[in-house]
């Protein structure tokens, strides 16, 4: 009979962090990954300074480091500058490889969990493995979340094209209320390619309309995606808890992604640390998850405020971007989102 102290489903940043902490504490851990390669998750693959500092990843391992962000409205172009890098890009594949080597974790690949019981999982429809603890680090479409009977109603749908080449060299955000009412288009440069995409809540704009408007925006910007790879991905921010008996959810599986920005990598790693420590020490009080939830609440209030504006919410976002160059507005934004 195969048995482990902890089974972790999903070898993304959160799963790797959780496995590393439990393994170092002497627990018998298995990290299961359904894909045949690491880092296959569709993602714009941007990191904040908080992500990089948490990981301790050297800048030389990253694709690019940016001290500027360019915001575009229909009226003007705004360049926000900082004295040190504030945003970074790295492909998910490269990040996963670095994390596996750095944290000394070896995931089991091609291991799809097809059934979850009270104290066991079935892998690839045939192999039964028992656990004391089960951790779902398997993203927005988490099988652990589904097994727990949690609905996921608060979602953002992201979509992007992977445009090969090195044509783009700046992180750019585009606000256009005629096409997106409460979100933005983005360009995230990487070494050898760029993620060019957008995202929005389906409750605000249907996926079909979002795709149609995305194509219209690309045409307006003269961005050729005829040979680019298209990907769409959900972002779950429907938080309903993280501890359910001997089962836990971290990151996107728990709905810890940020509503307004779609950020999720830091939340996955930080919540993984908290949950690993809860498993190791029943008296441990989470230090990261309450902070994440506080920021989510601020972002949710901001999103609700925009929704109340109805037809003019897109215009309000454009005006916010327009005034972002003023220091006092930047301070207000920092207080609301960090």
**Cβ(257)–Cβ(271) under 8 Å?**
no
Burial 178-203 (b: 16+ CB within 10 A, else e): ebbbbbbbbbbbbeebbbbbbbbbee
pLDDT of the residue at 204:
81
Where in the chain are the domains?
Answer: 2-337
Q: What is the pTM of this model?
A: 0.89
Q: Is the pLDDT of residue 227 over 80?
A: yes
Report the candidate in 138, 129, 55, 141 with the shortest Cα–Cα distance to residue 90: 55
For the residues 203-207, what does the mean pLDDT come to? 88
E strand or H helix that includes residue 210: helix 207-220
> Which pLDDT band holds residue 298 (cuts at 50, 70, 90)?
confident
d(CA 255, CA 110): 25
The CATH class that applies to domain 2-337 reads alpha beta
- Give the pLDDT band (50/70/90) at residue 180: confident
Residue pair 180/198 in contact by the 8 Å Cβ criterion: yes
Q: Which DSSP state fits 251?
A: G
């Amino acid at each position: 009979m195969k048995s482990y102290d902890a089974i972790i489903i999903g070898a993304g940043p959160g799963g790797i962090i959780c496995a590393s902490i439990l393994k170092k504490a002497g627990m018998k851990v298995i990290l299961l990954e359904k894909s045949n390669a690491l880092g296959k998750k569709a993602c714009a693959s941007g990191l904040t300074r908080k992500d990089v500092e948490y990981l301790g990843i050297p800048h030389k391992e990253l694709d690019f480091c940016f001290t500027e962000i360019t915001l575009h409205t229909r009226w003007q172009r705004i360049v926000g500058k900082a004295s040190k890098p504030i945003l970074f890009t790295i492909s998910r594949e490269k990040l996963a490889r670095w994390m596996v080597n750095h944290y000394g974790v070896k995931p089991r690949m091609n291991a799809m969990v097809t059934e979850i019981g009270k104290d066991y999982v079935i892998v690839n429809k045939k192999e039964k493995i028992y656990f004391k603890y089960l951790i779902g680090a398997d993203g927005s479409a988490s099988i652990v979340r589904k097994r727990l009977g949690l609905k996921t109603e608060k979602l953002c749908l992201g979509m992007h094209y992977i445009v090969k080449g090195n044509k783009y060299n700046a992180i750019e955000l585009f606000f256009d209320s005629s096409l997106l009412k409460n979100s933005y288009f983005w360009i995230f440069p990487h070494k050898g390619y760029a993620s060019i995409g957008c995202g929005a809540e389906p409750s605000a704009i249907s996926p079909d309309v979002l795709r149609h408007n995305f194509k219209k925006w690309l045409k307006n910007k003269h961005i050729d995606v005829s040979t680019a790879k298209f990907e769409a991905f959900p972002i779950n921010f429907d938080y309903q808890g993280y501890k359910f008996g001997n089962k836990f959810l971290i990151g996107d599986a728990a709905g810890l992604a940020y509503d307004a920005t779609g950020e999720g990598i830091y939340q996955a790693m930080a919540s993984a640390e908290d949950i690993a420590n809860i498993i190791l020490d029943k008296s441990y009080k989470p230090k990261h998850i309450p902070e994440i939830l506080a920021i989510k609440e601020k972002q949710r209030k901001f999103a609700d405020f925009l929704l109340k504006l109805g037809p003019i919410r897109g215009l309000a976002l454009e005006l916010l971007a327009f005034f972002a160059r003023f220091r006092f507005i930047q301070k207000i934004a920092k207080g609301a989102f960090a």
